[in-house]
Structure formats: structure tokens, C-alpha cells
A and B are shown apart, each in its own frame.
Chain A
Amino acid sequence: MSERTSSGDWERWQQEWRRTGSGVAAPADARRYIARARRERLVARLIEGAVAGAALLVTAAALWHAANPFEALLGLVVGLAIGALWVQRALIREREDSAVAASSPEHLALLRGVRRQDIRLAQFIWLVLPLELAFLIPWWVIGTRVHHRSLTDVGSWQTVWLPLLGMLALFVWSVRLWRRARAEIHALDRLREQYREHQE
């Protein structure tokens, strides 16, 4: 194709391209979009905060009744790990935001790094949950005996079943996070390959 045909194609397509675009309608619409996004983010943060807070409370309650220094140490490790998980999650979010004005390959590289962090976060959760179980199970068994509780008592629900359900929910969430992050890494690698094509 000649240079003139090429320039003709671009001009024609540019005219068609520029005919599109209804805009965001009005700044008020944009504010509405942003307010909705901020609400969604706030809700996600509140849920994460509530989950981390509840996990820390249960751990602290169990730590209060630790039978020996080993259990106390284990409880402390679990508590610190939960705190670290929460902080790591917040940092991942911040890192994702910071890359938005980079060049596209840098943006993709950073996103890949963020998704790798998601995978490590999921794996960390899989490490913390058994540790937490190892720490809580003796507390549950001894607590049930000492307080003569049945498995359906309100106390059992508060100290055993609800934390167990919370741990199960966290496990399911971590599996979904892991799967989604792996799928996104695969897609990002494919995209990065496209941006590397033609590189000299």
C-alpha cells in the first residue's frame, strides 16, 4: 500500500472515530461514578477490617487463657500474622493505584507484581489458618470441658462456631483470590508478550 493510501485510511477512520463519544454527560455524572466507587471501596475496607478485628479478638481471648508459654507464643504469632495480613492487603491496594499513570508495559509489570502479592497473601492465609486452628482447638476443647458447655450453647457459638465459620469464609475467599490472581497473571503475561513484540 502506498503512503497516500495509508494516510487516507487513517484520515477516514479518524473521522469515524471522532464522531463517537457521548462523553460522561456531565461532571455530576462523574462525581456520581466516583462516589459509588469510593463507597464500594469503603465497604470492602470495612469488611476486611471487621474480619481482621474479629480474628484478632478471638485470638486475644484465647491468648488470655493460654495454658502454657508455648501456647501463648503460638497465639502471639497468630495475632501478629493476622495483623500483617491486614496491612499487606492495604499495601497491595495502594500499590495498584500508584501504577495507573505509568507507561503501559510498566503498568502491566506492576500489575503482575501486585497479583503475585495476591498469590503470596493467599498462601500466607493457608499458613495462618492451620496455625490458628492449632492454637484455638486446645482452647475450645478445654473451654468446653471447664465451662460444661454443650456444642449448641450461646458461648459455643460465640467462641467456636462463629470463628470456625469466619475461618472457613476466609479460606474460601483466599482460594478465590489465588485462582483469580493466577488467571490474571496468565492474561497479563499474554499482554506483556504483545508489548514485547517488535521490540528491538
Chain B
Amino acid sequence: MPESDRTTADAAIDRVVRDHGELLDRVAWGYVDNAPDRDDLMQEILTALWRALPRFRGESSERTFVLRVAHNRGITFSTRRRRFEILPDDGQVTDPAPLAETRLIHEQRRDRLFQAIRRLPEAQRQAVMLRLEGLSQREIAELQGTTETNVGVRLARARKALRAQLIEEDG
């Protein structure tokens, strides 16, 4: 990569990390269930973005572009390392400090949601994560290379599966 492109890419990645860092973290946790894999996937996502950002010409919003790259890297990663162990009940965050009860409940709920999402078939999982990030059905359809109707079907099936899993675990 030429030096000028490298400087542009460095500046762009700094901005993306500031603006979309949390989103990238959520996408990564949607594909992996442990911290070392999360770090490896994050490295792949950021490197892919670093390479791709200088070629971004504003065909979509930057957020959609970032999501597209992150999900594609997530898919690639999960084809290579498919191992979704069931998380322990205390969740994926190892925090030695005692947690307040409400925070613990929130974290347990969140971890159960992530586990349930990770168990969905790939296309449904991606549609759900994009829906939760606030993308419209049209934007999801574009990203998944399909129609809005198909996205609607995927989301409806995913919701049913998620409800079943979450209720089963609650009960």
C-alpha cells in the first residue's frame, strides 16, 4: 500500500474505531464465544477495514459499510473455527469484582441473548444482528443480497427461535 493510502487508512481506522468500536465489538461477540477468538476476529475485522476503507466511495453510509465488512469477516472466521461451546452460567465476561445484583441480571440476560443468537443459522443470525443494530429491512436485504420479503421471513423465524430458546432458559 502506498504511503499516502496508508496515512488515509490510518486516519480512517481511527475514526471508525471511535465511531463504531462498540458496534464492532457486538458483531464479534455474535460470531465467537470466548475472548481469545474475539481478539483474533477483531484483528481480522480491523485489518480488513484498514484495507477496504480507502476504497470506500460513499455508496452506502459508513456504518453500513463497516457492518458489511465486519459480518463478512465474521462469516469467514466462523467457517474456519466453528466451535460454539455453551457458555458457563456466569457469562463470558470474567470479572473478579463482585457485581451488583441488577448488573448481574442484565449481564446474564445479555449473555443468554448472545448465546441464543449464536445458535441461529448463519443467514438468520446475521439478519438479527443487523436488525438489532437498527438497520432497515431494505438495508439488510441489500447486505444479504436478497429481497425484503426474504429478510422478513428470516427475521420472523429467528424471532420464533430466539423466543423459544430464551423462554426455555428462563423457565
Chain A residues at the B interface, C-beta cutoff of 8 Å: 1, 6, 9-10, 13-14, 16-27, 29-31, 33-34, 36-38, 97, 99-108, 111, 184, 187-188, 191, 194-195, 197-200
**Residue in B24, B109, B142, B159 whose beta carbon sits within 8 Å of that of A6 in the complex:** B159
Interface centre among A25, A30, A34 (most CB of B within 10 A): A30
Shortest Cβ distance from B160 into A: residue: A1
**Residue in A34, A97, A101 whose beta carbon sits within 8 Å of that of B68 in the complex:** A101
Whether A20 and B114, one on each chain, are in contact in the complex, defined by CB atoms closer than 8 angstroms, is yes
Shortest Cβ distance from B50 into A: residue: A34
Total A-B residue contacts, Cβ distance less than 8 Å: 156
A–B pairs, 7, beta carbons within 8 Å: A21-B21, A21-B26, A27-B17, A97-B51, A101-B69, A187-B79, A195-B145
The answer for the CA separation of A146 and B72 in the assembled complex, in Å, is 58
Describe A's contact surface by its main secondary structure: helix
Known: A21-B26, A33-B42, A194-B121. A184 touches B113 (CB 8 A): no
The answer for the CA separation of A199 and B46 in the assembled complex, in Å, is 32
- Shortest Cβ gap from A104 to chain B (Å): 5
Whether B69 and A31, one on each chain, are in contact in the complex, defined by CB atoms closer than 8 angstroms, is no
The answer for the CA separation of A34 and B51 in the assembled complex, in Å, is 10
Shortest Cβ distance from A6 into B: residue: B159
For window 41-61 of B, CB contacts with A under 8 Å fall at: 42-44, 46-48, 50-52, 55-56
